Structure 1
Amino acid sequence: MGYFRNGHAWRAIILAWALMWLGPAANLNAGTLISPGMLDGIRKSAEPFGLFATRLSAGGLAEKWSGLERKLDDDMVQLALCDGDRERCVSPAALQLLAIVDSARAREGRARFGEINRAINLAIKATSDLAQYGQIDVWSPPLDTFATGAGDCEDYAIAKLAALRMAGVSRDDLRLVVLRDLTRGEDHAVVSARLDGHWLTLDNRRMTMIEDIDIRNHRPLFVIDDSGVMRYETQGALASAASEVAAPVIAVSLASKSN
């Protein structure tokens, strides 16, 4: 699904470069199709799915993540304190999550990620925000989720982020990704964890992990890391460049996560 794994995207890039050289004959210039900055961003994209993503400084999702991040940081402090002194830890939720982290620490590489994915999937009961809180789209910090034992897709994902960090996985290798489930017609949150240059997906709907490039019937919308929220640009921008020679590329905006 990444640009460099997609034949259509390759042809679009090749065509764009050809048009840059032939621009005068076609009354075009390089900026008409794909700007040098956009091409540079595509080459350097290190995000899951290999797609270019642009930073969001405002909006509903950015505000939601900002509010959640503060609570997540507080939970990480409590987890670290409990990790250092289990006997004096007064949080059953923290001890339960740390037991999962302990099992993960005893493993390496893919097995470490898989242990966290499997254990958290089993520890939390899938429950909608409406059923649990009487509200839509509540993002809970991990200790709240473990205290209730219930949550929806983003709650699983947030808990996995915390567990992976506690297990020693670098923050640089972790992302929370919001996908559009094209089959169910709804948005879905997962964790992407990088191992040896490959992004593995930790999904509450799967016990097994698959690579981002093997995910089907989903469209990536947003990716979240320590620096904030980014919006994926669509592959359609390059595809349209190949087919609409005289038209500029216009990045398709994706709606904010609404569930």
Structure 2
Amino acid sequence: MGLLVYARAWRAGIVACGLAWFGPADLRAETAKPSTPAELIQQSAEPFGLAASSLSSGGLRDKWLGVQRRLDDEMVQLALCEGDRDGCVSPAALKFLDIVDDARLREGRARLGEINRAINLTIRPMSDLAQHGQIDAWTPPLATLARGGGDCEDYAIAKFIALRRAGLAPDDLRIVVLHDTIHGEDHAVAAARLDGRWLTLDNRHMAMIEDTDVRNFRPTFVIGQHGVMRYADGPLLADTSDNNSVASLVVSSLAGSATRPFERVD
């Protein structure tokens, strides 16, 4: 019954995620380190096969550092609850541990799919403005689960941490920010590498899509164990003739849903 309620809320509330400050002017404000050969990430290492360079400053880097600081406390809470579930005082921690435990029972793609499905059904789509009273707020997984709602980056962060605790190597996990060229908005997804291929875990649909099959999105930033990086300019991932593309899935899921205008902090 609970899953049915979440599923209905998930389907009814699927909207494009406005990462508020990712407007064009704000992208220019991000400062990348000099693109020397030693600092430039090899093309094959990142999702979408594009080179990326580390950011030394900027709003996205600040947000991610803020999440990491809060994650330190959440990891302590998870450790305490994992060692004494009966004495755990955090329902969010217990829920997160259950998701991870269920995923550990599976292997390969099924493990990734279990976490993608569970997080999508557990978190209700909700804007940061409605939930936090501000346009863009990034929260770690236990804070998101405790509130019960979040937007695209909150889903992506929760999946990123859950996959790591389920046994995936840090080098095989990313959070990727994409620009939706159809709706003019930015969107965040988790990405996991399996058998040398990157799969995207998106809150907008249950299917996990390989990065090479993503259409009508432009990768802009990637977050992983090396910190926050900005993608080098690359080709638009578009093929309007592909009826099985991510864009087709997104457009069909958005049918009948109201999308809000792209917002950013000036």
TM-score by length of 1: 0.74
Post-superposition offset of 1:170 = 1.3
The correspondence of residues 83-162 of structure 1 with structure 2, limited to 5 A, is 83-162=82-161
Deviating above 6 A after TM superposition, structure 1's stretches of 4 or more consecutive aligned residues are none
- TM-align CA RMSD: 2.1
Q: Percent identity?
A: 67
What's the counterpart of residue 188 of structure 2?
Answer: 189
Distance 1:258 1:57, change over 3 A: farther
Kept after mapping to 2: 8 A contact 1:125/1:151: yes
What's the counterpart of residue 76 of structure 1?
Answer: 75
What's the counterpart of residue 55 of structure 2?
Answer: 56
CA distance in 2, matches of 1:69, 1:150: 20
The correspondence of residues 221-236 of structure 1 with structure 2, limited to 5 A, is 221-235=220-234
Instruction: Answer yes or no: is 1:179 the counterpart of 2:154.
Output: no
What's the counterpart of residue 165 of structure 1?
Answer: 164
Distance 1:42 1:147, change over 3 A: closer
CA distance in 1, matches of 2:137, 2:91: 22
Look up the equivalent residue of 2:89 and give its one-letter code: V
- The alignment partner of 2:175 has SS state of strand
CA distance in 1, matches of 2:41, 2:96: 37
User: Counting helix residues as a fraction of each chain, which structure ranks higher?
Assistant: 1
CA distance in 2, matches of 1:227, 1:53: 11
Kept after mapping to 2: 8 A contact 1:179/1:222: yes
Deviations 1:207-236 (A, max 9, x none): 010111100110000000122110001126
What's the counterpart of residue 66 of structure 1?
Answer: 65
CA distance in 1, matches of 2:36, 2:78: 45
Distance 1:43 1:159, change over 3 A: closer
Larger-gyration structure (1/2)? 1
Unaligned runs of 5+ in 1: 1-34, 237-256
Look up the equivalent residue of 1:197 and give its one-letter code: G
TM-score by length of 2: 0.72
Post-superposition offset of 1:168 = 1.1
How many correspondences in the alignment? 204
Distance 1:123 1:36, change over 3 A: closer
CA distance in 2, matches of 1:118, 1:179: 21
Distance 1:107 1:137, change over 3 A: same
CA distance in 2, matches of 1:131, 1:36: 42
Instruction: Answer yes or no: is 1:209 the counterpart of 2:204.
Output: no
